[in-house]
Structure 1
Amino acid sequence: MEFPASGRMRGLIKLPMRLMLSLIILSFMVALVTLCFIASDLNQQNTRQNHLLLEKALLTRQEVMQFHLSDNAEWGEAYENLHRTVNKEWAWTRQNLGESLFETFAYEGVFVISPQGETVYSVIDGKPQPRSFSAWLGRDLLPILQQLLQNSDGKALSRFVVANHQLVLISASWITTGGDNSVQPVAGPPSLMIFADRLTPAKLLQLGHEYGIRQLRVDFTLPASAEPLADSLRLSTDGQPALLRWQNANPGGTLLTGLLPLLILTMLIVLFGALMLMRSALRKAQLNDENTWLLAQSQQALSASERRFRDIAETTTDWIWEMDAHLRFSWISGRFPVVTGFNSEEWLQRTLDEFLLCDERQRDRLKQFQHAGGQLTLSGCRYLSAQHQPRYCNLTLKRVSLAQGDPGFRGSATDVTLEMEAQARAHYLSHFDELTGLANRVQMREFLTGKLSLPMPSQPMLAMIMIDLDKFKPVNDLFGHAAGDKVLHEVSERIRSTLNGNGLVARLGGDEFVIILPEAGTHAQIDALCQQLIKQLNAPFMVYDNTIQIGASLGIALAPQDADNASDLLRFADIALYKAKNSGRNHWIFFHRDMEEKIVQRREMEHALREAIQEDQLRLVYQTRYDLLTARISAVEALVRWQHPRLGLLMPDQFIPLAEETGLISALSDWVLFNACRDIARYRPEMAVSVNISATELQDGALPERIARVLQLSGLPSQRLEIEVTESALLSDPEKTLAVMQAVKALGVKFLIDDFGTGYASLCYLRAFPFDGIKIDRSFISPLTESQQARQVVENMIGLGKAYALSVTAEGVETPMQMSQLQDLACDAIQGYYIGRPLPLPQISTTAPVSEA
């Protein structure tokens, strides 16, 4: 037996294998060069990033110092006590410009320079010292600073200077009234206030650590004309050289150290594998040359049966068959019993027409194909399985010549039952609600659009009734979602039975339903239907041996009176529903045009409130609380106002309910908490501040974290913050409310009951909840001097608070007589117009606790 030359395949294999080895080596060289480039680029990026971070850090330090300086220099009291006169008792003893600047911000030097250039007040390293600014600095920078301030109209400025071989940040500003109209400026040049911050090596290291810059230090040895190093930053310091330097992290070197050995090892392994693969391929190529001749001989043995198997391969998908010219089965493959459940033998010589349950269109196509021939595909053919279950298949038929040359047909049948059932299921889910079986939003809109497209007579009119269940959410919370689903199913049955087959009922999702009545009739008929619906839905539901009571609110829109298209009709019905829910629930309301205007106004107000929180349109005023035991003002209550750009000053009752409804209450509360705590920490560090919290806030598990963040940012000790809540806030989910209050209490914050006596909470809540005090509502204080009964009620309230070891504050005190009687009743504190009206915190007097009403 002779074989073809054995070197043919080997020759074909060698060239590609050599090319493959060359490509592998070239790829690794490219990877190596790329790795070195990446390492270099990483080092350059690290250097640029350090430059940017350091510049940002220095700029931030300058801006913070300028801010602190402006806060102290642009101040009416500072103008009175440091420019007109030098009141060191005001500045140092009362700590308005004292050691806190050193303790808190590490400002080593604080100086006040008179218009004549004399240092009239100085605090150095947190202690008052009679030392001039120039002597402390070691340089005379006053002419330069005065010229710069003249150019900036006295606004605070800062710059770096080199003094005594140290880098110093200097910030200077004119002392002005700061817009305080109660202080009249005097003629003549202003005094100068200067803050100084020495950037010691320790401070530079700490600054670098905060921004991820290692070994940050200052170098004064580089000449001014020399080019700075890569890992350095030259500072502008009035001609004296100062260079900030640091140690580069060298990420590129780290990358090379980690990846280069791995890359070389990988290259060696791949090359070794490629060589072994080449040897194996050459051996197999030699064997393939020897087998090629043998394979060519075997092809002749397969040619006889190739035609039949080619025809089958063209049509095979699931089970295969042959039919004669009359479409009678003559052969069926073994998959037929598996798919259909029938025995193949019982269907031989039976026709395809007996097997399929074809519609007329499919029958006509089969007849035409039987005479015309060619190839035919029928989709979605229906038949019954051996278990009499409906099934579906796709048929492919082809006219062929059978074994004896007789005409016939071959084909295949692919079972598509699951696909057809999935399509039917998808169609159902796209048009029906799976839980209740009602129409869904898609079918509802199609039905409504179809009805509105028809010519509509003036009577009867089309009505859309939108239903929202009242008190449904507690059903899921108390009894579980399974009980909620059963209630929704029963609700759908009651609505359908009430309509008695008229119109369409759809579920839009959740607990919201829609009724469309194409022939609704008159208003009186719609009223009667709505009354019947509410009656049906108010009836108790028996679910899992539980009696569940819910209600419903209905909003109604009419066509063509209100709208002639589906979108507007849905929107108007929803607006009417919103009005019904806010008007007391369990009744219905027809849409009117003025409702849409009110909704638009409400949305505009919501948008304006969101902008007010972000754009600082809110203001805080404070009402003092007078301690009767110590005869001094011990605390203030923060009250928020909204300075609306168009409507003017708005009181809390005009926008707090809107904030609660729209979810803005958290952002509003955070703003009030932060600003109140910051103001107290800045202006009245000896006082406590109380802030009112909405009832909805006590359900927010994030409230303790939010309060902790506010205390950290403002610097206010937690024991000086008091949270005021009303009695009604305790009624909704008391267990969750108690958990939130205990978490806030753990921070050291106090709780007070506001408007005590006007709510409905049980007295046992005084013992169960962690309260520190109560505030008796003003409605009990007003008749105090005129009614003995009122005096007895207030006395009992005070006694109740004392019994629970709570501090007692009386609100609404407006006369000296009321104050005197409350002192006799052993009340702890009082609050009201007699003590002081709400004012900005800087205007509140600390020496005159009682003011004229």
Structure 2
Amino acid sequence: MRGLSHMLGSWQDARSEVLALFSPEPAAAELRARHLAMVTRLSPAVMLANALCGVLVAGSLLGSLRRPWPLGTWLLLLLASCGWAGWRAWRLRGALAPASVSPRALWHATGHAAWLALLWSAVSALWYPEVPVGQQLVIAMLVCGMLGAGAFLLAPLLPASLAWLCVLALGALVGLLRQGGGSALTVAGMLCVYAAVVLAGVRSVARQLQARINSEREAARQGQLVSLLLRDFEEHATDVLWEIDRSGLFTHVSGRLAVLLGEPEAVLAETGLVQMLDDRHIDTEHAGGLRALRAAMARGKPFRDVLLQVKAGDSHRWWTVTAKPLLDEIGRSNGWRGVISDVTQQRLTHQRLAYLAHYDSLTGLANRVQLRERLSQALEARGDPPRRSALLCLDLDNFKSINDSLGHSVGDGVLRLVAQRLQSIVRRSDLVARLGGDEFSVLLDDVRSDEEVAQLSQRLLQVLNSPGEVRGQMVAIGASIGVALIPDHGTTIDDVLGNADLALYAAKEAGRGRCEYFAPALGERSRRVVSVEHELRQALQRGELSLDWQPWVRVDTWELLSAEALVRWQHPTLGSIPPAEFIPVAEKCGLIGEIGAWVLQRACQEAQALFGNLMISVNVSPAQMMRTGLLDDVRRALQVSGLAAERLEIEITEGIFLDDTPTAMSNLHQLKSLGVQIALDDFGTGYSSLAYLRRFPFDTLKIDRAFVRELLTHHDARAIVRTIVELARMLGMRTVAEGVEEPAQLEVLRRAGCSSVQGYLLARPAPAEQMRRLMDSWDPNSRPDPGDLPASESMQFEQFLPHWPATTERAS
């Protein structure tokens, strides 16, 4: 029963395959055309073979038959059929095969196969019983050979093959049954088995042929799709494809390539890639890229993103070139294929961000980052005698009163005037920097004597202490200067900066408007650091550390989104010591790991106990992030408290990227895999670089309070904030603005698309219990109205508000 069921299933499958070939669908029509073309190519030779076999069979049987005329008639019919079919196939030998044929053509081919099989089956059906054993053997061999050979030759046309097989086998069975006897029945059974095996083989061959045709069709479709995509890429993408041969000449010149290079396609076809780039590079700054390109091609290795600065038309552009070699079957280079990308806009954006990272946006002076870089160079300078430098720290004496009485616009004008005066006095090799607010620094490079420093300091005081006109008003400007000599007053950047600050504080305490040099007597600050370090070692055991919390609020819904944990230290004798003082001490003396672990665990416990589902944020210092045990501290805090990892956000500063330690990056990635959120704090003021955002997928960017503080007075601060917000949005990150203290600042941030805000406008830092009460009493409808500002603030706000188009509210 199982064998019968299998035979029925095979018959049904064969029937389905045959019917599929007669389908009117376009795919079936294309398949029929391919199959017919395979059979047609062999038809002349096959028909000639049939005719020769027919002559040989007739000659063999002629002497054994009582009536020869039926055999002659059969031979004439066979020769006529073979001649007609062979002539038709020969006539079509040079014609292109049609892309599709109708089912009618398949019917004709099947009918011809059945007719030819009928002619051959007549030999066994009519004359097999009448001839002697020797001629019977000839007929048996003929039937077996024709049955197998014809069926497999017609396998591409499964209906014709089946017709041939069935008709020929049926004729042989008729001849055997006419003869009768036990041996005839045995041979008949063997014939049926043989026919079934041939049928199975024919079906297998037909399936393989169909699979091959389908694969070829799919490959052709994929090729067309790739060609279409490449054509669309060349027509619409900003990147341009190119291809050169072994000699370096272009072999593929697209319209976009001609437009990019500004040359006709005919000219480019006779030009080499390297020659074209060599003719267009404009300076020596990126000539190394051209050398790198030549070297990469000489090595025969793939390369990518080789940067070149070229002249395209009347403008200067930046291109990157990426390519791989084209190899023949034995691995020899036949040329190159690659892409030219215009990265001018990205370069300009990067240069703008680099400028903002190294220069003060208000005055155009160097900022703290650039000052530290130059200080590092000055400290590393060697010579005999040692090369000496001097750092002057300046602070305006009455700048706050100018801002309060005359307004921020006049204050900004004063800062610009001070910057101009400083630059007009110093030498070209010196550096003038603005550190923030009304703090400036001047780095005097390669000074010959202390007297030279003193003379320049006095000239600076004279210039800065003279009144100046700002926005039509005469403003009295005064300044104090603190001086630290290098290397006399410090061998590290922080020592020099700190000692110059100490000297500045001494100058201000001595009456302002004067210059003071650092002296050992001013080292009380260092002694304070020692005292803080000593007491800090016992602070945890004595329970002197605590946490305050400050909330974040979602701008669009005015709902509490998160709370930041802020560590506090209340010493019994030293009083309240701010984190800015004791955290650096903890980093230097190695206590940051212990304190950081306590802060993490305490924050998670208080949040889990009091804050419901509110997210929390914990700041981790660079030194703490570089510890190998940080991940264990976070896991332990989450496990002990029961806080979900998704509710914890770790804030880091850009300082961790300075040393680029593998441990810090590993900790970041492992925290991310743990489910903890990562925020980049103080973005835009430290060592900001797009490279950091590419290397690690941050969840949040925190906009520094320095930009927020100047939102109402400086258009460049607003532009920077909008740029940061847009950059974060494109990278899928949230934005949190710190230090929001005025409703107008909130409104500007809302219009810029900032996700969340934090600052005194919402709440001052407070212990966990007060934070819990704030959560309970929080009203989402209590957003401050920017119209409630004082008149002066409101007037300034209205001056720039129309230039800020309303943006779509974004969810954090």
Higher strand share: 1
TM over 0.5, yes or no?
no
Which TM class, normalised by the smaller chain length? 0.3 to 0.5
Structure number having the greater helix percentage = 2
TM-score scaled by length of structure 2: 0.35
Report the TM-score, using the length of structure 1 for normalisation: 0.34
